[in-house]
Structure 1
Amino acid sequence: MTKQTWTAAVSALLFVALAAVVSLTPVPFVSWSAGTTVNLFEPVDGQSRVEIQGVPTHATTGQLRLTTVSVTRADSQLTLPEALLSYWLSSREVLPRDAVYPPGIGVDEIRVRDVRMMDDSQSAAVAAALRAAGEKVVEYPMVTAISNGSPADGRLEPGDFVLKVNKQTVRTIADVRDAINKSAVGEAVVFDILRDRQALAPTMITVGSHANPSQPVVGIELAIGYSYAPRVAFRISPDIGGPSAGLIFALAVYDMVAPGDLLAGRSVAGTGTIAGDGTVGSIGGIQEKIAGAETAGATVFLVPAANCPDVLGLATSMRLVRVATLSEAIAALEDLKDPALAGNVRGCS
Structure 2
Amino acid sequence: MSRRAATLTVASVLILALALVGSLMPVPYIALMPGPTSNTLGTNEKGQQVITIDGRQTYPDEGHLNFTTVTYRGGPGGRIDLFTALRGWLDHDTAIVPEELYFPKDESQKQVDQENTRQMQDSQQSAKAAALHELGVPLQTQVIVQGVQKGRPADGRLQPGDQVTALDGAKVTSTAQVTGAMAKRKIGDKVTLTVQRGGKDTTQTLTTVADPTGKRAVVGVVLGDQYKFPFKIDISVGDIGGPSAGLMFALAIYDKLTPGPLSAGRFIAGTGEIDADGQVSPIGGIQQKMIAARRAGATVFLTPKKNCSEALGARPAGLRLVRADTLHTAIQAINAITTGKGTVPACTK
Letter in structure 1 aligned against 2:346? G
Residue aligning to 1:123: 125
Residue aligning to 2:324: 323
Residue aligning to 1:345: 344
Q: Once the 2 structures are TM-superposed, how far is the Cα of residue 201 of structure 1 from its aligned partner?
A: 1.0
Q: Once the 2 structures are TM-superposed, how far is the Cα of residue 309 of structure 1 from its aligned partner?
A: 0.9
Change (3 A) 1:192 1:119: same
Q: Once the 2 structures are TM-superposed, how far is the Cα of residue 169 of structure 1 from its aligned partner?
A: 1.2
SS state of the match for residue 120, structure 2?
Answer: helix
Could you list the per-position Cα deviations for residues 129-179 of structure 1 after superposition, in whole angstroms to 9, with x for gaps in the alignment? Answer: 111122112334332212468775677553544332343112443643637
Q: Once the 2 structures are TM-superposed, how far is the Cα of residue 226 of structure 1 from its aligned partner?
A: 2.4
Identity of aligned residues (%): 36
Q: Give the whole-Å Cα distance in 2 for the aligned partners of 1:191 and 1:54.
A: 32
Q: Give the whole-Å Cα distance in 2 for the aligned partners of 1:247 and 1:22.
A: 43
Could you list the per-position Cα deviations for residues 172-225 of structure 1 after superposition, in whole angstroms to 9, with x for gaps in the alignment? Answer: 4364363798899897945154x7xx8531233425537699x98654211333
Superposition pairs of residues 1-349 of structure 1, within 5 angstroms: 2-44=2-44, 45-74=46-75, 75-147=77-149, 156-173=158-175, 175-176=177-178, 178=181, 189=192, 191-193=194-196, 200-207=200-207, 209=209, 219-238=220-239, 240-313=240-313, 314-339=315-340, 341=341, 344-349=343-348
- Equivalent pairs counted in the alignment come to 342
Q: Once the 2 structures are TM-superposed, how far is the Cα of residue 14 of structure 1 from its aligned partner?
A: 1.0
SS state of the match for residue 115, structure 1?
Answer: helix
Change (3 A) 1:7 1:190: closer
- Is the Cα contact below 8 Å between 1:205 and 1:218 reproduced in 2? no
Q: Once the 2 structures are TM-superposed, how far is the Cα of residue 66 of structure 1 from its aligned partner?
A: 1.1
SS state of the match for residue 26, structure 1?
Answer: coil
Q: Give the whole-Å Cα distance in 1 for the aligned partners of 2:308 and 2:222.
A: 34
Letter in structure 2 aligned against 1:191? T
Change (3 A) 1:90 1:247: same
Letter in structure 1 aligned against 2:230? A
Q: Once the 2 structures are TM-superposed, how far is the Cα of residue 5 of structure 1 from its aligned partner?
A: 4.7
Q: Which moved more, 1:317-326 or 1:87-96?
A: 87-96
Q: Give the whole-Å Cα distance in 1 for the aligned partners of 2:156 and 2:200.
A: 13
- Is the Cα contact below 8 Å between 1:130 and 1:136 reproduced in 2? yes
Letter in structure 1 aligned against 2:6? W
Q: CA RMSD in A?
A: 3.0
Unaligned runs of 5+ in 2: none
Could you list the per-position Cα deviations for residues 302-328 of structure 1 after superposition, in whole angstroms to 9, with x for gaps in the alignment? Answer: 011111111225342122111100001
TM-score (norm. length: structure 1): 0.86
Unaligned runs of 5+ in 1: none
Q: Once the 2 structures are TM-superposed, how far is the Cα of residue 237 of structure 1 from its aligned partner?
A: 2.3
Q: Give the whole-Å Cα distance in 2 for the aligned partners of 1:126 and 1:109.
A: 26
- Is the Cα contact below 8 Å between 2:267 and 2:298 reproduced in 1? yes
Q: Which moved more, 1:168-177 or 1:324-333?
A: 168-177
- Is the Cα contact below 8 Å between 1:192 and 1:199 reproduced in 2? no
Q: Give the whole-Å Cα distance in 1 for the aligned partners of 2:59 and 2:207.
A: 51
Q: Give the whole-Å Cα distance in 1 for the aligned partners of 2:50 and 2:121.
A: 15
Change (3 A) 1:90 1:182: closer
